[in-house]
Amino acid sequence: MAKEAAPKLQTIDPAAAQMLQRAETLGYSTAFSRAAKMAPCPIGAEGACCQMCDMGPCRLVPTKANPDPVGVCGATRATVAARNMARHIAAGTAAHSDHGRDIVFTLDAIAKGEAQGYELRDVAKLQTIAPYYGVKPDGKDAKQLAAEISASALADFSGQKGELKYTARAPKKRIEIWREHGVIPRGIDREVVDTLHRTHMGDDQDAEHILMGSIRTALADGWGGSMMATDISDVLFGTPSPLVTQVNLGVLKNDEVNIVIHGHEPTLSQLIARAVDDPELIAYAKTKGANGINLCGICCTANEVLMRQGVPSAGNFLHQELAVMTGAVEAMVVDVQCIMQALSDLTKKFHTKFITTSPKVKVAGATHIEFDEHHAYDIAKQIVKEAIDNYPNRGVTEIPSNMSDLVPGFSHEYIRYMLGGVFRGSFRPLNDAIMAGRLRGVAGVVGCNNPRTTQDKAHFDIVKEFLKNDVLVVQTGCGALANAKYGILTGEAALELCGPGLREVCEAIGIPPVLHMCSCVDNSRILTVLAEMASEGGLGDDISDIPGVGIAPEWMSEKALAIGTYFAASGVYVLFGVNSPVESSEEVTKIMSEGWEKEFGGKLEFVPEPEEIVRRSLAHIDAKRAALKLPPYDPTKFGESGDARMNELLKLQGEELLGALRGAPVMAE
């Protein structure tokens, strides 16, 4: 199926639509308009273009005369598609894991007393994770522990042999499956290098073998770099728990200095979040005519400060240009990943200062204020001051009024606590609800926006269908921000959309049916939840036994492919929307689907239609229920006990109430 240039309907978000209209009026381009103009290369889109050497690029397009073309070196369509896929996975793994490494460097600097403005916010978590790093916590103070853990973590990056320590957190059976296939990562860096080496011209030419190598690399992301990024960020900035905040462009303020932070790493943004509360800087903003300083985020940097400090989010990936389009942003401050180069030109059309901060990322035309964790607070204050100084330069603004409340912050620690309290925290109630059939299953709906498909539509439609079918949903990244914009990430709103069993579970435990588990590196939190559910008992003894699925309906980044692969290799059925980057090769498509399912119990499939994603997901969940010999899903059995039943009873009186208490069915009004 050929990839669409751009859909007729660009977005379902009225705030985004308003800014797209403004862009058109002003004659400025956005990713939406550029996508419509720039048709995707049909050969590259399906993974059939080989650029690994200068004898090409070879375009492996079948014709009548040559139905099975090969490259100049003889590389087949399967080899080329597998190599391209493997390189995407390696890049995604490198991005997440390098983010993890930088967080470890900050931990190390704190241990040495060299990290200005940082502290160890969750020492209990530091002690909990110490054994995973082979560090004994007894009798050591926090700084000593931090030093030993950072040394051990860095050794996991550079490990040459043996097994990545964090993979021991997976269920036993899963580890055996990985060992059997020889895919337990050694060092994180080594696996990335291994994939780059084996996909070089003249190396690995067996599609299945190439993809097996990329599984090892992806596991180094999910159970390595990403998991470390999550755990150590929690130690440095606090383990999230639910709070209320807001999302969408309406969080920008007309009368305050607006600073938008965008990218992925929480290290600088956490300190900017502190600097905007500095009374001196607030007073300084007032001298420039502003009523205060308003901080908000885009993408995963947004998610990091959203779930810990309640900093509002201006939206997901496709909102980065739209925020600037309001004319109300004094500074767009970026670190790494998912930053569009177009911001450089667009910010010049307004008064917005575009500030890059990472030693790895410079953009021509941007102001570079390099982040250094040793002087982080001074740098954060300098950036805030630059934004304040820019406030008097603001011109005409148009800020959409749309914003919604959301409740983010569901770390796996909090979910465990919420299911059983401080002393009896466990995943038992969740497993029980699935076993009884109140919950049909669980789904992770994650990942990006992509202007090749209607912004947010697939995220919203798929999650609504899951809720209706009693599937509990967890979300991260831009997918979480997408649905938050439509108000379904609050406690009560989404209950209206739920089937009877899911509603009953949510009311009884007091959880929303869609749980925001933070940024994309925090997909590792979902791995932890799955591992704990598998160990809890009743749902088999491995992640692949759990009636659950993982979906990235609007994916666009290489990181998403790494995530999809590590979930599949961990035993999860993963479905991606938009298009298939391996469509050119039936063989590769089959390896990643049937082949991986046979070997790992999980698979990765690309399905452009959201309705088909839902259909396959529910069929898979039901098949897993049947394999566990659980009762088949039957929504008519539930919704008549617990709080829901109580609420119905409270509406009744006299004989009717007595009848109901004796067991007669409660008639719906």
CB of 475 to ligand NFS, least distance (A): 10
CB of 335 to ligand NFS, least distance (A): 11
CB of 264 to ligand NFS, least distance (A): 6
CB of 92 to ligand NFS, least distance (A): 8
Q: What is the 3 state secondary structure string of 539-587?
A: CCCCHHHCCEEEEECCCCCHHHHHHHHHHHHCCCEEEECCCCCCCCCHH
CB of 299 to ligand NFS, least distance (A): 3
User: 441 pairs with which residues across the strands?
Assistant: 471
For ligand NFS, the closer of residues 317 and 427 by Cβ is: 317
For ligand NFS, the closer of residues 221 and 545 by Cβ is: 221
The encoded tokens of residue 100 equal: 């993890």
DSSP, collapsed to helix, strand or coil, labels residue 13 as coil
For ligand NFS, the closer of residues 233 and 557 by Cβ is: 557
CA distance 226 to 241: 19
For ligand NFS, the closer of residues 145 and 333 by Cβ is: 333
Q: Are 641 and 504 in contact (CB under 8 A)?
A: yes
For ligand NFS, the closer of residues 447 and 601 by Cβ is: 447
Q: Which amino acid is at 661?
A: L
For ligand NFS, the closer of residues 92 and 250 by Cβ is: 92
CA distance 214 to 192: 8
For ligand NFS, the closer of residues 438 and 559 by Cβ is: 559
Residue (of 551, 432, 424, 446) closest to 501 by Cα position: 432
For ligand NFS, the closer of residues 477 and 581 by Cβ is: 477
The encoded tokens of residue 275 equal: 């600097």
Cis peptide before 57 (omega within 30 of 0): yes
CB of 29 to ligand NFS, least distance (A): 19
CA distance 473 to 464: 10
CA max distance for the chain: 86
* Pairing relationship of beta strands 313-315 and 293-298 according to DSSP bridges: parallel
The encoded tokens of residue 271 equal: 């300190």
DSSP code of residue 185: -
CB of 455 to ligand NFS, least distance (A): 11
Query: 70-99 in b/e burial notation, b at 16+ Cβ within 10 A?
Result: ebeeebbbbbbbbbbbbbbbbbbbbbbbbb
Helix (H) or strand (E) holding 322: helix 320-325
CB of 559 to ligand NFS, least distance (A): 5
CB of 260 to ligand NFS, least distance (A): 14
Question: Contact positions toward ligand NFS, by CB under 6 A?
Answer: 264, 299-300, 317, 338, 447-448, 477-478, 519-520, 557, 559-560
For ligand NFS, the closer of residues 87 and 264 by Cβ is: 264
